[in-house]
Structures are given as structure tokens and as C-alpha cells.
A and B are shown apart, each in its own frame.
Chain A
Amino acid sequence: MSELVESETSPLGQPRSGGPVAMRLENVAVSFNGRTAVRDATFDVTKNRVTSLIGPSGSGKTTLLRALNRLHDLTPGAKVSGRILLEGTDIYRGNITVTELRSRVGMVFQRPNPFPTMTIYENAVSGLRFNGIKKKAILDEAAESSLRAAALWDSVSSRLKVTAGQLSGGEQQRLCIARALALDPEVLLMDEPTSALDPIATLHIENLMTTLKSRVTIIIVTHNMQQAARISDDCAFLLMGEDRAGELIEFDATEKIFNNPADSRTLDYTLGRFG
């Protein structure tokens, strides 16, 4: 394995809640053309909890998140080392295909990106269709239940046949959440899902996350510390090191990270002294 991974086992990797583990990260590092972007990420993501990744720009939050469903695969020169386990299976080397992984680990992006040529309905079921599901009954049911889960059904059920571009930004983002939920994933990755939205739409999405966690484990990258404090149960704090590579500083229950962190840099950051 790569020399980027430090052999020393970090004490950070203990599950904090004691609950079952959805994803385990062991010394995960991501590099692009030999330059390390993030390293030392070791922590457990507990099932049915919201885990947030916080830290200033350049600390590698998004890079780390994208490694969790192998979105770096298509980037030339990208290399992920360490181990990422989904239910005990190594997602890079284990017995799991990348398409299966991505249907089990969904993703919502920073800017709403519904497919512009598809209708609301087609967007909601696009993941199922990509994975070969054609039966109309299944698609219809999945469309309704995922749109309901994304708190969008009531406002769009009468116009499922219009193109997704006609929805507002917040609705588009909830459609993207519905699209990911339709595959019934175990884990949902969210990359600053509210950064392009207004406060009301943000509130909708935040409330949604709190209700959704009973059915899906959520990992969210956020710039907004209040958001992390409000919605997440566990929190990973990352910081850019001296060589400009992001590294995990501290992982703990959100309450501990914000009130009584082990590392003084975490305290400085959460108090807004930098970043």
C-alpha cells in the first residue's frame, strides 16, 4: 500500500456511540498525481446517525466524501489508499462492484443536478432504470415513496410529467435526494447539500435529514458549523496540514466536538477563531 498511509494506528477510530457500524474508514488517504489531498482518516460511521465532516476550505472534506462511493475512480491520477469498509466489505478491493457500491451508497451534490431532459418522475426513478429495473409497478411505487421520503410528494404529485428544471432550487435538491433514496441505499453522502439554497429551503433539507436517518445513514460535508451542530450526531473535524494536505484532527460525538473537544484546534475552529 501507499507510503502515504501512516502505519501508526490512530486512537480516533473507536465507535463513539457503540452502535452498529455502517462504514469504517481505516487510514484513508486520497492523492492526486502523488500529491496528498487528505490523509489519516480513521473513524466509524454509525448506522442511522448523521455524521458530519467539518473543517475549513482545503481540508479535504469533499475529497474524502467522494472516496466513499468511488467517485475518484474516473479522475486520472487519483489514488485512494487505506481501507473503506461497507458492512465489512472493502469497497475498493472487496467483492463488490462499483455500480453495486453506488447503488448502496447514494450521493447528493453541492448544487442540485437533476437530469434536465427528464421529468420529475423520470428523475426519481432514474437510478432504478440505470440499474435495469423496468417493471412499471415497482418504478411507480419507488417514485412515490422516495418523493414522499424527500418531502416532495405533496407539491409535485400533480405534475410528475413536467421537466425537473421547472422546480425551484430547493425542490430540485429534494428531487436529487429522492432520486438517491429510490435505490434504497444504506448510506447517503451529502456534499454541502444546502450551500446553494436559501435559508427556508435549507431548513427543509435539514429537517428532512433528521427524519431520514431512521432509514438511511447520512454522511454530510458542511461548511456551516451551526448546521453541523444542529443536525449531526457525530462529527469529524479536518484541517489542512503544513504540506497542504487535509487530515483528520478529531472525530467524536458532535456534542463533544462542539463543547469539549480534545484538540485545541477543534475548539478554535468551532468558536470561529479561524477558517
Chain B
Amino acid sequence: MMNVAGLAPTPDTGHELRAEIRRTSQNARARRVLVSRVMMTLCAVAITLAAVPLVMLIFELLQKGIPVLDTTFFLKEPQSPTLLSPNATGGVSNAIIGTLALSIYASIMAIPVGVLAGIYLAESDSKLASVLRIVSQTMAGAPSILMGLFAFSFIIQDLHIGFSALAGSFALAVLMLPVIAISTEISVRNVPQTLREAGLALGAKPHKISLKVVLPTALSGIVTGVILAISRAIGETAPVMLVIAGGYTDSWKPLDPVSALPLTIFMNAKSEWPSLRAQTWGIALVLVAFVFVLSLTARIWASRKQKVGN
């Protein structure tokens, strides 16, 4: 059959090809839908598996913790139960005050140094800065018992300062330092270069720009990092157990022996008195509440940052 050039009808092959494409993609789509369903189910199973222990933990914590919380628990110093009064455990006011004192003193030591170090890391390209960066990253990953050992050998053995809140907060400060420095560095680096240029173009000296532009802009990120560092330090047992001597009396004095909530959990959990073991759950609940409040505060600060950064 003769065809006029350009008018040749080729409907059949075209339709077949199109049908083939439709058919194949239909099958492929059906397969993808199936795979997707299977994967979603697996994800749901995984998240349930992850959530179950957590929910159980919180449930047990509330169930066993709430009953031991009373005014004695919060306001009284601990007592040793005796055979005649096996339930006379006293309270844990020493550990609550100790934990607060430790975190306050540790913050006083770690925040200024950590923030300034972070700013230095962010603003300097020197060799020293890159060495310090590696050091702080390594320190941030180091096991926390190391800080306790260091505080023990430096504060107690070398400086002859006794077992005390100071020694414990020193250990915690060393623990917090790299965390604060790294998060400060990241926040400062995240301040857009265009803002620095805007400052420069207005005739500002570099230190003025750091102080008046970069730092305020990075502040919410820095605060978030600081709060997370504190909430990490609050829950640590290892760094303080070697150096605070677990004092039984309430004291805010830096040179007194103090206790701490995690340390008290550790001690009470080993006790042969059921009443003390029961008290452990209350302490754990208070500790979790502390950390929860801190994390919540950190989240609120972090969301503030996003609002400012738009």
C-alpha cells in the first residue's frame, strides 16, 4: 500500500505502545502499594516495640513513685531505718538540695567558659581552634566516670579540697563544657554571614558585631545548648559519686559534702531495707521531672529561635 509521505497513519503501533506503558506501570504501581503497606506495618510494629518499654517505665515510675512522695520526702533529711522502725527513711532533701547546688555551681563554672570557647571556635580559623574543636568533640563523647576520676585526682588529691559540692560540680562542669562549647559554636556559625556584613557595612568594628549582632541572634541556640547540658549533668551519677561523699545533711555550701539524686538512687537501690528501695522510685520520679522541665524549657527556647530566624 502506498502512503503519502507525512500522512502515513500509524495508529496501531502507537496505541499498542501506550497500552503497554499503561499495563506495565499499573503493575508496578500495584507492587509499590503492596510494598508500601508492608513497610508501614513494619514501621508501626517497630514504633510500638520502641514505645512499650518507655510507656512501661513511665507507668511504673508513676505507680511506684507517687506513693512515696510526701512532705517528709521533700523536706526532711534522710534517716537510717532500724529494726524497730523499718519504715523511718526520712526524706531526700539533702539530695534535692545537693543536685540543685551541684548544677548551679557547675553552671557557674561551665557556662561562661563554654560559651566563650564556643564563640572562639566559631570565629577563629586558627590551628589552636581546630585542635580545641577536636578536643571538645572527644571530651563530649568521653565516658562520664572519667570526669569523676579527674575531679578526684585534681580537686581532692592535688588541691586538697575535701569531698564536696565543689569537687562534684567541677566534675559536672568538665562534663558540660564541651557540650556547651559545641552547641555555642554551631549557633554562632548559623548566624547568617549577611548580618555580619550588614554590621560591617555600617562601620561596626568586628567585636561590636560579635557582641551586638551575632551573640543576640545566636542566643536562643546557645541557651538551648546550655539547658540540655545542665539536664544531662543533673542525671549523672558517675562523675559525682567519687567526689561528693554523699552527705546526709542539707547544705548549699560549696565545701560541704553533699548528695545528689542519682547517687541516692544508686545507694538506696542496693539497700537491704525495703522502705529505702521503695523510696528510690520517688527519687527517680523527681529526677525525671527535673530533666523533663529542663528539656521542655530548651524546646521552648529552640522554637523561639525559629520565630526570630525567619
Between A and B, how many residue pairs show CB distances below 8 Å?
77
Determine the chain B residues whose CB is within 8 A of the CB of A115 once the complex forms.
195, 198-199, 213, 216-217
Q: Which of A77-85, A104-112, A227-235, A266-274 interfaces with chain B?
A: A104-112
Cα distance A176–B202 in the bound complex, in angstroms:
10
Does chain A have a CB within 8 A of B85? Answer: no
The interface residues of chain A lying within 8 Å CB-to-CB of B308 are 116-117, 163, 165
Nearest residue (CB) in B for A132 is: B208
Partner of B203, one of A74, A103, A118, A165: A103
Cβ–Cβ contact A100 & B203, under 8 A: yes
Q: How far is the CA of A98 from the CA of B92 in the complex (A)?
A: 62
Q: Report B-chain residues with C-beta under 8 Å of the C-beta of A111.
A: 194
Within 8 A of B (CB), among A112-149: 113-118, 126-127, 129-131
B200: CB under 8 A from chain A?
Answer: yes
Q: Are B200 and A127 interface neighbours, CB within 8 A? A: no
Is B32 an interface residue, CB under 8 A from the partner? no
C-alpha spacing A113/B202, complex, angstroms: 12
Q: Which of B195, B203, B216 contacts A130 (CB 8 A)?
A: B203
Residues in A with CB closer than 8 Å to B216 are 115, 117-118
Contact B310 A165 (CB under 8 A): yes
Within 8 A of B (CB), among A42-62: none
Is B86 interfacial (CB-CB < 8 Å)?
no
CA distance A195 to B149 in the complex (A): 59
Q: Is A102 an interface residue (CB 8 A)?
A: yes
Q: Does A183 sit within 8 A of B, measured CB to CB?
A: yes
A103 interface neighbour in B198, B202, B219, B310, Cβ under 8 Å: B202
Count of A interface residues, CB-CB < 8 Å: 29
In the assembled complex, B270 has its CB within 8 A of some CB on chain A: no
**A117–B201 touching, CB < 8 Å:** no
B208 CB contacts on chain A under 8 angstroms:
130
Binary contact track A231-262/B, C-beta < 8 Å → 1, others 0: 00000000000000000000000000000000
B205 at the interface (CB under 8 A from A): yes
- Asked whether any CB of chain B lies closer than 8 Å to the CB of A28, the reply is no
A133 CA / B199 CA spacing, docked (Å): 15
A64 contacts the other chain (CB 8 A): no
Chain A, Cβ-Cβ closest to B198: A113
Whether A126 lies near B202 (C-beta < 8 A) is yes
Q: Is the CB of A71 within 8 A of B200?
A: yes
Q: Mark B189-224, 1 if CB is under 8 A from A, else 0.
A: 000101101111111110011001100110100000
B309 within 8 A of partner (CB)? yes
Which of chain A's residues have a CB closer than 8 A to the CB of B219? Answer: 117
Q: Is A180 part of the binding interface, using a Cβ–Cβ cutoff of 8 Å?
A: yes
CB <8 Å contact, B213 and A69: no
Residues of B within 8 A of A174 (CB): none
**Known A115-B195, A117-B219, A163-B308: A183·B200 in contact at CB below 8 Å:** no
CA distance A119 to B204 in the complex (A): 18
Shortest distance between the CB of A233 and any CB in chain B (Å): 23
Q: A116-B309, A130-B212 known; A106 and B201 CB under 8 Å?
A: yes
Pairwise interchain contact A102-B192, C-beta atoms closer than 8 A: no
Given the contacts A117-B217, A176-B198, A130 and B204 also touching, CB distance less than 8 Å:
yes
- Chain A residues with CB under 8 Å of B307's CB are 165
Judge whether B197 and A99 touch: CB under 8 Å: no
Q: Assess whether A24 is interfacial by the CB under 8 Å rule.
A: no
Question: In whole angstroms, what is the CA distance A74 to B217 when docked?
Answer: 21
| B127: min CB distance to chain A, Å | 15
Subset of 26 A-B contacts with CB under 8 Å: A74-B200, A99-B203, A99-B204, A99-B205, A100-B203, A103-B203, A106-B201, A106-B202, A107-B198, A107-B201, A109-B197, A111-B194, A113-B194, A114-B198, A115-B195, A115-B213, A116-B195, A116-B308, A130-B203, A130-B204, A130-B208, A130-B209, A131-B202, A131-B203, A163-B308, A183-B203
Q: Please give the residue numbers on chain A whose beta carbons come within 8 Å of chain B beta carbons, in ascending order.
A: 69, 71, 74, 99-103, 106-107, 109, 111, 113-118, 126-127, 129-131, 163, 165, 176, 179-180, 183
Q: Apart from A102-B200, A115-B198, A117-B213, what are 20 other A-B pairs with CB-CB below 8 Å?
A: A69-B201, A71-B200, A74-B200, A99-B203, A103-B202, A106-B201, A107-B197, A109-B198, A116-B217, A116-B309, A117-B219, A117-B308, A126-B199, A130-B199, A130-B202, A130-B203, A130-B205, A130-B208, A130-B209, A131-B203
Q: Can you list the 8 inter-chain pairs with the closest CB atoms, starting with the nearest? A: A130-B204, A127-B202, A103-B203, A107-B201, A117-B216, A102-B203, A113-B194, A99-B203
